[in-house]
Amino acid sequence: MSAPSAGGASRDGYGSALLRLASDPRVVVLEADLGKSTKSCLFREANPERTVSLGIAEQNMILVAAGMASSGKIPFASTFAIFTERGFEQVRNGVARPGLVVHLCGSHGGIHTGTDGSSAQSIEDLALYRTIPGMTVIHPCDDLSSEELTIQLLDHDKPSYTRTARNKTPRMYDEESCKKLKIGKGSKLREGSDVAIIACGVMVSEAIRAAEELSKDGIGATVVDMHTIKPLDTELIDELVRECKGIVTAEDHSVIGGLGSAVSEHVSYTGGVPIRMVGVTDRFGESGEPGELMDLMGITYRDILDSCNSLLS
């Protein structure tokens, strides 16, 4: 087992970050029999004495993490995104309510997860955790940004949920540019004054592709990697509202409650521009290859393109 080479999945970045964080003796890792999948196994291999295996028992894992956080540790607990949801009330009542700094990671988020089918494809995790007061919600788009944002959690004073993806995604950052990322601050990857595409996770590269297509027709699109869903970078959204004619959001997540909802909620107060949401409409996924599923669910660059065009027409 080794850290990934170029262009891994965001879960690989999480694993690499945990390895780097191990130099801080307060850091502990908790697993629920999916360490090989979430990549916390890298930490386990190097630091077995600070890794706690809790078996297939997520509710217990979350409260064990809370107990450790109350005793001076900085726990990083992970499982599949969908199985963190089994412990949602534990996160709400046992972690966030007393303000204990536990960092929870849900890998295999979204329908991009693929052939495992709908039981493994969380399309509601971002919505759920976003409702909890004081909770930070992160969804990086590639391995390098995932590594950087996870490293930053070491000094983060609030509980957090990070969603990573199972499958590889194109790199949006290099070793240098990812260092400029900051939790809570959206990252502008491309600038244009006609439309702003705000995306997260695997949809960021789709947004870039849509922007490239739009430029062929002379339409300028700003693309933002909104890696932090909460707290939302409302300053940046206000700037986009001033500069562009409309906003399209893109996420591998239900359109109910996720990034699109968060952006819309903010703009509903400030007013300004029309918004279109690209995301999973109110339905479950199924087995299939990631690309096939993105086609089926209507979350490809073509869907972003259509939304941009309809918004500008």
Partner 1 sequence: MNSADRASDMTTSQLRELALRCRRHIVKMIHAAGAGHPGGSLSAIDIIAALYGNQLRFDANNPGWEDRDRFIMSKGHASPAVYSILFEMGFITEEDMMSFRKLGSVCQGHVDMKWTNGVDFSAGSLGMGLSFGLGCALAARMDSSNRDIWVMVGDGEIQEGQFWEAAMAADFHSVGKLNLIVDRNRIQNDDFVEVQMEVGDVGAKLSSFGWDVMEIDGHDMEQVSQAIQWSSSKTDSPTAIVAHTIKGKGVSFMEDNPSFHGKAPNNGELEIALEELS
User: Which residues are at the interface with partner 1 (CB under 8 A)?
Assistant: 28, 49-50, 52, 54-55, 57, 59-73, 75, 89-90, 93-94, 97-99
Task: Cite the beta strand spans of 13-82 per DSSP E.
Answer: 27-31, 51-53, 74-80
Q: How far is the CB of 272 from partner 1 (least distance, A)?
A: 38
Minimum distance, C-beta of residue 31 to partner 1, in the bound complex (Å): 12
Among residues 67 and 170, whose Cβ is nearest to partner 1?
67
Pairing type for strands 187-190 and 160-163 reads: unpaired
Q: Which is nearer to partner 1, 2 or 71 (CB)?
A: 71
Distance CA 203, CA 189 (A): 13
Question: What one-letter code names the amino acid at 177?
Answer: S
Please report, as a single letter, which amino acid is at residue 7.
G
| CB nearer to partner 1: pick between 90 and 113 | 90
CA angle 22, 24, 27 (to 5 degrees): 70
Positions annotated as catalytic residues are: 58
- Name 197's bridge partners: 223, 248
Closest C-alpha among 247, 129, 141 to residue 187: 141
Residue 114: how many other CB atoms lie within 10 Å: 21
Q: Cα 251–58–10 angle (5° rounding)?
A: 35
Give me the least distance between CB of 152 and partner 1, in Å please: 23
Q: How far is the CB of 214 from partner 1 (least distance, A)?
A: 49
Nearer CB in complex with partner 1: 85/194:
85
Q: Which is nearer to partner 1, 103 or 166 (CB)?
A: 103
User: Closest approach of Cβ 24 to partner 1, in Å?
Assistant: 13
Residue closer to partner 1 (CB basis): 133 or 271? 133
Helix 301-312 / helix 203-216 crossing angle, nearest 10 deg: 50
Question: Coil, strand or helix: which one is 237?
Answer: helix
Provide the CB-side half-sphere exposure for 115 (13 A, CA): 1
| Joined tokens for residue 135 | 């909770």
Whether cis (ω within 30° of 0) applies to the bond prior to 231 is yes
From the CB of 141, what's the least distance to partner 1, in Å? 32
Residue with tokens 């029309």: 274
